Structure 1
């Protein structure tokens, strides 16, 4: 009689199949939050014209999103520790869908503040999703391939950066664009009609996005997923202990300025090249997609170069090239400014993960709290675009506003030069 007990290979095959669908679901989250973030370059110039905003006022789009990350990072972690990561993902998807659906009443009221509120709620949901997705991917399969799975999932974030501006340009910027002078020349009745039409153009895209997110949420509800338990080493680290590490303090500052630079460069990309190169918003959307593609490719290329160049040195090189290209964008005219900013997107790509890894190096039991502090420093994405908007309004050209990301890249360069170095005390605490 044959032995019908399944062998090791059969068990491995069955386990892989059981992980496949959950992995697809979790990987979809990387795409969706990348997609909604990369609609900002389209949404900012659209709302700016619809509501006749200054650049400072339009920068509140980024403020509403990134301040939510800062405020919700700790609550999101607490929820997941108490109720599990699956519950956190479902709650995050609920908030994501709610914020998307709120674009409809925001468009109906034609009030800018309601659009900002809807974006804030979406970002609250994204905070939960981003907190959970990375650890989930690492456990959905064999430990030896965890890094490969995570890189694969993160590549869909880059794919979204390419698709979102093009899709947004097609469905949100679908009307006939008017210049600022043409808008000012409209009669009160025609202006009212114009605002109504421009506000309404966001309803369809965000309604469809909200429905898709609801479907994904239901799939998570009815899909069995392994949960993650928080490890407790019995010796919780304190913020005051972590703060003693000089290179961590430098990393927090560098990450604050880097995220601010990324948001400034990419969120105002369309607005910038319309002014600097004299092209239409619809044409600018295509180049915005290229910038997202360059950002994605830059991560792969940077990862390859790190086999031969120390991470801090590569960070210095990329920061220096970003400074040079930003200067060209600020003082140049025509198509060269477009390609300069696409180049900046390419060289920014490795900065976040490189700063993060250098900042937590050698921290031992302080690593967890240090990671949280670096993540919270993304509030730079809320604050620094306000500076860009203020300078742009003050000088009457958005090109001078890009002095803000130029300053940010200088800080990143200094961190790569000597701020990354762990002190003697830190080296002694390496695990």
Structure 2
């Protein structure tokens, strides 16, 4: 999933504020920030591995298993505003360090959770996601100021590419380190201890590097005040409201499909794969999004974002319905190919929704980023459907989500915005 700070306007104000924009001596800091994007992607996609693992260990229903995503993505909604207040108090650099340390604590909590039960795991997921949320509020603006303003877009593309690389590697690594363990330990919660303690150590080390890095100072007085600036409200713009619904449903569909992939591929009439074997296919789902970004970049140089979005959504619906009512390898590859369609959806919906908001851009961006909570709600709802209708038919819900994306893209097909 694409990651955007709940206050993207900070990037613009930061890029314009200060001499650091032209400083070419921040390559080390850019490397650290790029590693952060990689870690966000890897940690988020590891949820797809842990959901079926914890479901089997604690004999959970699908609704109970989807509490993982509910707690993880619910943190985006709950923590975004407090995170902004924390950054105002600590500053961007120390705020990023705080986010890294909170995320490290969340990873470390997986160790006692392996003894204490599912409830402690849910707490660990929430703490981990809270740290990531704080981190994103603090770290995203640095991407635009770590070098000349004219190359800011290329730096943003670079960091997003490494985010996609993380989401691609995460499931494969999790399958190898967590799901492929044989013997009595294979069905035990203890298999998460080593990998997540290693992640905790890596995050703590990154916090130290970030604390010691010589980063440009970003003035935050302007960007964090945008929400209340001027008269009126971003809510008065219909395309923003529809875009927020689109972000909610898109993130929900993308996360929900990833969450159910291992169980779906384990169905006897689909592929009958063991969890460890299915994990590598989850990586293909996320890799499709990475490849699709490059294709989308080329296509949208000549085709409007709305038309491209509508086309991708239409194909996604066809693929999900094929997986829902098909069987065997056709159904398996259809659902995996949805990742390719997902590639351009988040940035395209986001940019179309904030197009033309003017002074309300900051508020609109905050609204859209809080809509990421769809990643908590939609998987939970699909879990309820899976418990009552079965895993395969439950994919009708993501298909319905993509139907709204199709409507949004078709409605604003003639809108041209800079990608």
TM over 0.5: yes
Q: Secondary structure at the match of 1:212?
A: helix
Q: How much has 1:421 moved relative to structure 2?
A: 7.7
Of 23, 26, 30, 1:19 maps to 26
Q: Partner of 2:162 in structure 1?
A: 156
Of 296, 303, 308, 1:309 maps to 303
Q: Partner of 2:10 in structure 1?
A: none
Q: Partner of 1:224 in structure 2?
A: 214
4+ runs of 1 displaced by more than 4 Å? 419-422
Of 404, 409, 414, 2:407 maps to 414
Of 83, 86, 96, 1:89 maps to 96
Q: Partner of 2:188 in structure 1?
A: 198
Q: How much has 1:270 moved relative to structure 2?
A: 1.3
TM-score of the superposed pair, with normalisation by structure 1: 0.87
Give per-residue Cα distances to partners, 1:343-381, cap 9 Å, x unaligned. Answer: 101101111110110001111101110010011011111
Q: Secondary structure at the match of 1:73?
A: helix
Is the alpha carbon distance of 1:238 and 1:259 closer, same or farther for their aligned partners in structure 2, counting shifts above 3 Å?
A: farther
Of 125, 129, 133, 1:123 maps to 129
Q: Is the 8 A contact 1:106 1:114 kept in 2?
A: yes
Q: How much has 1:213 moved relative to structure 2?
A: 0.8
TM-score of the superposed pair, with normalisation by structure 2: 0.90
User: For structure 2, which runs of at least 5 residues remain unmatched after alignment?
Assistant: 1-19
Q: Partner of 2:229 in structure 1?
A: 237
CA distance in 2, matches of 1:221, 1:57: 39
Q: Partner of 1:210 in structure 2?
A: 200
Q: How much has 1:384 moved relative to structure 2?
A: 0.9
Give per-residue Cα distances to partners, 1:392-425, cap 9 Å, x unaligned. Answer: 0001x21111111011000111111116788xxx
Q: How much has 1:240 moved relative to structure 2?
A: 5.6
CA distance in 2, matches of 1:32, 1:353: 20
Q: How much has 1:238 moved relative to structure 2?
A: 6.9
Decide which structure has the larger Cα Rg and report it.
1
Q: Partner of 2:176 in structure 1?
A: 170
CA distance in 1, matches of 2:148, 2:103: 30
Q: How much has 1:291 moved relative to structure 2?
A: 1.2
Q: Partner of 2:246 in structure 1?
A: 254
CA distance in 1, matches of 2:338, 2:353: 23
User: For structure 1, which runs of at least 5 residues remain unmatched after alignment?
Assistant: 1-11, 178-192, 423-431
Give per-residue Cα distances to partners, 1:50-82, cap 9 Å, x unaligned. Answer: 000111110111001010010011111122223
Q: Is the 8 A contact 1:247 1:421 kept in 2?
A: no
Q: Partner of 2:76 in structure 1?
A: 69
